[in-house]
Structure 1
Amino acid sequence: MASIKIECVVKEKYKIGESPVWEEKEGTLLYVDISGRKVCRWNPDTKQVQSVATDDFVGCVVPRQSGGYVIGVGCRFAAVDWDQQTITTLAHVDKDKPNNRFNDGKVDPKGRFFAGTMSLEVRPTVVERNQGSLFMLNPDHSVVRHFDQVDISNGMDWSLDHKTFYYIDSLSFKVDAFDYDKETGSISNRRTVYKLGKDEGIPDGMCIDSEGKLWVACYSGGRVLRIDPVTGERIQTVKLPVEKTTSCSFGGKDYSELYVTTACEGMDQDLVVKQPEAGGIFKITGLGVKGIPPNFFAG
């Protein structure tokens, strides 16, 4: 078994780093800083970070087939033209909830953008309950609300056979599964596949590997869990030197590197001294498994 190596590769202290996505063509890592209000792109070869500022909290970013990206920003789906540094609104959600914002999101196997909302945090992970929803942006820019009564809409991904949708509402401390209809994007038959233990933290961002196992970043848990969603077992725990691990995705030339975003918002000075790399982005190698390429938004 190869030994696991964990290194902080992006030293910037992001307030809430989130939504990592590997860009195969460019060989870059895309991600957001939610309350830092920016979309970022890191090049591992040059070690340079480029960014585009947003006018509101930006919860997630996904690549777009026609070029550029789509983000969940404030309560809007919006397109990012990276070269022009412009952001154009595609659709609005939660118009009756001015205190809401988008959080995590991901593109489904048919090119639809799933993203969820939550109320603005009073302090990290403290929110007005049941204010969020899970939305789906279709390629024609119409929006479907899948369900509401969500606390903190978070990690999501699809099974390798595209028949199951996995989803996290953070304050439920669970990873849930739904039956997923690839043709329509509809989801049904919600059930729990994993319940986090008290010491594991709060489930946050998530991704799937090429063996169909889920990787869950645990906020306040300083770890990433590998879970078998079929048996409901935790297979592996990888601990990081920072507490606020927020999300993860595979990348690198053969998708064998796991990138983990972290946060430093809300940390007191003592904790900052103890965890100097908090808010950075970590690369984990030697896991012995690979990820799969991300889907692109089709609209």
Structure 2
Amino acid sequence: MSSIKIECVVRDKCRIGESPVWEEKEGTLLYVDITGQKVCRWNPNTNNVQSVCVEAPIGSVALRKLGGYVVAMGTTFGGLNWEDQSVTTIARVDEDKPNNRFNDGKVDPEGRFFAGTMAQEIRPAVVERNQGSLFTLYPDHSVVKHFDMVDISNGLDWSLDHKTLYYIDSLSYAVDAFDYDVKTGKVSNRRHLYKLEKGEGIPDGMCIDAEGKLWVACYNGGRVIRIDPQTGKRIQTVTLPVDKTTSCCFGGKDYSDMYVTSACDGMDEELSARQPQSGGIFKITGLGVKGIPPNVYAG
């Protein structure tokens, strides 16, 4: 085994850093600060962070074929033009729930953008229950709602054969699997794949590696865990120097680095003093496994 190295590469603190996406053509890491209401882009070569401020809490961002990005912010799917920093509305959801906001999202292998909602937090990870839903924004800009009664819609990814959608509703403390019809984008046959153990924290963002194993960032758990979907067992734990780890993605040259976002919202002075890098972004090298490139929204 190569030795694992963890370093804080972005020290600009996010209130709630989330939705890391590697942008290969730019060699940059894209991510959001949900409550800071901004989309950020970090260049590892220059160590420069650019950001665009938006007008609502922003749950997720993804690459877009037309250029720019697709975002899930407030209760709106939008298109972000990086050059002029404008967001155009593509579609709205949850219009009967003004207290809701989008959370995590990801693009499927056919270029559809999946993102889920939740009630605005009372305090970190404390919400009115059952208010969220999971949606898909299709390339033609139509929206499908898959199911509701979600607490905190969170991490998503697809199996390498595209037949399974993995999904996290954080307060279920579990990673779920669905049968996935990649032709239509429909989901069915929901089941628990892995139930988090006491002390592992709250399952948050998630990504898949090139071996088909899942990596889950555990909020308040200060770790990412690797799960084998075939057996439903945890096979690896990587501990980070901050408790509030929020999401993860692979990136860098040949996708062999892992980037982990974190949060500092809701931390008291004592914890902040103990964990000064909270809200930063961490790079993990030496995992000995690679990721796969992110999908691109086709609309």
Bin the TM-score by the shorter chain.
over 0.9
Q: Deviations over 1:158-207 (max 9, x none)?
A: 00000000000000000000000000000000011100001100000000
In 2, the alpha carbon distance for the partners of 1:71 and 1:230 equals: 32
- How many residue pairs align between the two structures? 299
- The answer to whether 1:279 aligns with 2:273 is no
In 2, the alpha carbon distance for the partners of 1:39 and 1:237 equals: 29
Q: Deviations over 1:91-130 (max 9, x none)?
A: 0000000000000000000000000000000000000000
Q: Deviations over 1:263-297 (max 9, x none)?
A: 00000011110001000000000000000000000
In 2, the alpha carbon distance for the partners of 1:135 and 1:193 equals: 21
2:293 corresponds to: 293
1:232 corresponds to: 232
Q: Deviations over 1:180-237 (max 9, x none)?
A: 0000000000011100001100000000000000000000000000000110010000
1:100 corresponds to: 100
2:244 corresponds to: 244
Q: Percent identity?
A: 74
CA RMSD of aligned residues (A): 0.3
Provide TM-score, normalisation by structure 2: 1.00
1:18 corresponds to: 18
Post-superposition offset of 1:13: 1.0
- The answer to whether 1:217 aligns with 2:217 is yes
1:7 corresponds to: 7
Provide TM-score, normalisation by structure 1: 1.00
Name stretches of at least 5 consecutive residues in structure 1 with no aligned partner. none
Q: Deviations over 1:129-158 (max 9, x none)?
A: 000000000001110000000000000000
In 1, the alpha carbon distance for the partners of 2:103 and 2:34 equals: 8
State the AA in 2 paired with 1:16. I
In 2, the alpha carbon distance for the partners of 1:23 and 1:253 equals: 11
Runs of 4+ in 1 over 6 A off after TM superposition: none
1:2-151 matches, within 5 Å, as 2-151=2-151
Name stretches of at least 5 consecutive residues in structure 2 with no aligned partner. none
In 2, the alpha carbon distance for the partners of 1:234 and 1:126 equals: 26
1:266 corresponds to: 266
